[in-house]
Structure 1
């Protein structure tokens, strides 16, 4: 059985998965997807980063430094220090991967979801002896509506606001959510959206990979020509809304799209690229795992829920547990 513990990332034998920072003194690293909290790469020549081609291309949209990378497609086995790894799509964003170790001794989900979207199929549930599962929304309060129903509400809201000649401003993370919003704008609102520069480049990577989003244009002093604008959510604030209303000559109607709530009073839709509480439990149950390590978010609380609801050994994977975490 491969050894696993937390050491500046998830350490499987001598391979670090999603390093916390660039200081880990190892030579092999696996990056599960391109979000910045998972994709900390280094230009150090002695370090090699293994990832899907799509993840590499998305990282390159915001990180121009050179780093040693080995591109690994889905479902192609590869070995590092006698440990076998295999990638499976996680349904999170383009190129995002689950990892199967030694044919199922260990499965690491990283970020995933078990619902189809307009862009991707849901993640496959992999069989595992030991499961390392993300627990971002590992609290019972986080149960999301059916995605189809969220899409219907977005369509109804958007069309009504557009009918009133308002400028729609949609807030979504630059990699992942913004591409889904680009697709939704084309598919359900019949509008070509303007997109922020930090979204424009990832959109092009999605398109080149074969994931079709529909039409989109770069925001560049052309606000009056379009009815929908997609920007990163951290830019949405009252000052920006006022500036956009002055520039466009129209009222602005804005919304944020995220599993988290509480975005400064802005309207929000619970459109998440993560599994909710029920999906997390479903994965644990159907994976057949005998031991479970929870990671990120509500790790303690979710481990407790697994033990109580499913009767499965579970504990959080955390920085204080530096011994072999398979010693349940």
Structure 2
């Protein structure tokens, strides 16, 4: 949610498509974890008429719940109801009047297996291929740490990780999330790679069949690549193996959340917003897609005035 006319912006979590909205603001509204992850030294506001709720998406991810003119407003940000290895599940708000909800997987076909089922599938695959080189591709902040946590807990493996992923893991550690891994480029990492089969977690853009061929040639072991993403339910990827694991709520999770919040008015944003709004209307809710102005969508402005500080947050669609 970006600052528009005010001097502060709400940042739901540390992914760049959300955190970038805070660059122009003088002050930010976010969790301590998010502020550290994005490297911000800006003043963090504590609002008298608003509070932050766990969102379950990644370390420090939050929802915004605020009392505004006309009732209670909740913005979910990216959220997930199921608990993960590195996060709790999202906190379900008690009834609200206005709900701004993300719709990344807001279409009926976007239904995921239970998280524990996917962990079991990944564990079986890793153990079956433990003598080979295994590379998991993951976004460097959030998903990579969840994958490292999975490998630690379910496979007893401390993977080799890129320098950026390791830097983020250090921040996770400062907030009590301990992750065992080996930083790429170190003597320990080189020994692991030369000693036989090893497992790595690397940026998603690097995990592909081309990398696997290079690793096989260098280390003399067959190399396998895998991704863990919610988009596994419908898309194909260059990685050899895809597991349907997401840090977002699936369609059923979104519907469960809306039923629990029971809002009077719903705005849908961040992907599949038109489909989600239509599905919610079919279930008896007053819902509308929140899309860019040039696409003919609606725009909502939330005004809050804590201790004389005017804050206007305009919610728009960002990159997914």
Quote the Cα distance in structure 2 between the aligned partners of 1:306 and 1:178: 33
Deviation at 1:43, TM superposition (A): 6.2
The equivalent residue for 1:298 is: 272
Unmatched tracts of structure 1, length 5 or more: 1-16, 61-65
Q: Secondary structure at the match of 2:252?
A: helix
The equivalent residue for 2:183 is: 218
CA contact (8 A) 2:290 2:299 kept: no
2:56 to 71, 91, 100: 91
CA contact (8 A) 2:57 2:248 kept: yes
The equivalent residue for 1:314 is: 287
CA contact (8 A) 1:18 1:39 kept: no
The equivalent residue for 1:229 is: 200
Deviation at 1:266, TM superposition (A): 2.4
2:37 to 27, 35, 58: 58
CA contact (8 A) 2:10 2:28 kept: yes
Evaluate the alpha carbon distance shift between residue 265 and residue 228 of structure 1 in structure 2; reply closer, same or farther with a 3 A threshold: closer
The equivalent residue for 2:215 is: 244
Quote the Cα distance in structure 2 between the aligned partners of 1:116 and 1:136: 18
2:156 aligned with 1:190, yes or no? yes
2:123 aligned with 1:169, yes or no? no
Deviation at 1:204, TM superposition (A): 0.7
Normalised by the length of structure 1, the TM-score is 0.82
Deviant stretches of 4+, over 6 Å: none
Normalised by the length of structure 2, the TM-score is 0.84
Greater share of residues in helix: 2
Q: Secondary structure at the match of 1:169?
A: strand
CA contact (8 A) 1:317 1:325 kept: no
Deviation at 1:324, TM superposition (A): 5.2
Q: Which one is further off, 102-111 or 316-325?
A: 316-325
CA contact (8 A) 1:85 1:102 kept: yes
Quote the Cα distance in structure 2 between the aligned partners of 1:197 and 1:157: 26
The equivalent residue for 1:129 is: 97
Deviation at 1:246, TM superposition (A): 2.1
The equivalent residue for 1:9 is: none
Q: Secondary structure at the match of 1:34?
A: coil
Quote the Cα distance in structure 1 between the aligned partners of 2:102 and 2:22: 24
Evaluate the alpha carbon distance shift between residue 317 and residue 220 of structure 1 in structure 2; reply closer, same or farther with a 3 A threshold: same
The equivalent residue for 1:258 is: 229
Deviation at 1:48, TM superposition (A): 1.3
* Matched pairs, number: 287
Deviation at 1:53, TM superposition (A): 1.1
Unmatched tracts of structure 2, length 5 or more: 303-320
Quote the Cα distance in structure 1 between the aligned partners of 2:248 and 2:23: 30
Evaluate the alpha carbon distance shift between residue 157 and residue 323 of structure 1 in structure 2; reply closer, same or farther with a 3 A threshold: closer
Quote the Cα distance in structure 2 between the aligned partners of 1:307 and 1:42: 32
CA contact (8 A) 1:43 1:68 kept: no
Q: Which one is further off, 24-33 or 288-297?
A: 24-33
Quote the Cα distance in structure 2 between the aligned partners of 1:32 and 1:230: 25
The equivalent residue for 2:47 is: 78
CA contact (8 A) 1:43 1:67 kept: no
The equivalent residue for 1:101 is: 66
CA contact (8 A) 2:73 2:99 kept: yes
Q: Which one is further off, 237-246 or 129-138?
A: 237-246
CA contact (8 A) 1:109 1:134 kept: yes
Deviation at 1:102, TM superposition (A): 1.0
Deviation at 1:224, TM superposition (A): 2.2
The equivalent residue for 2:262 is: 288
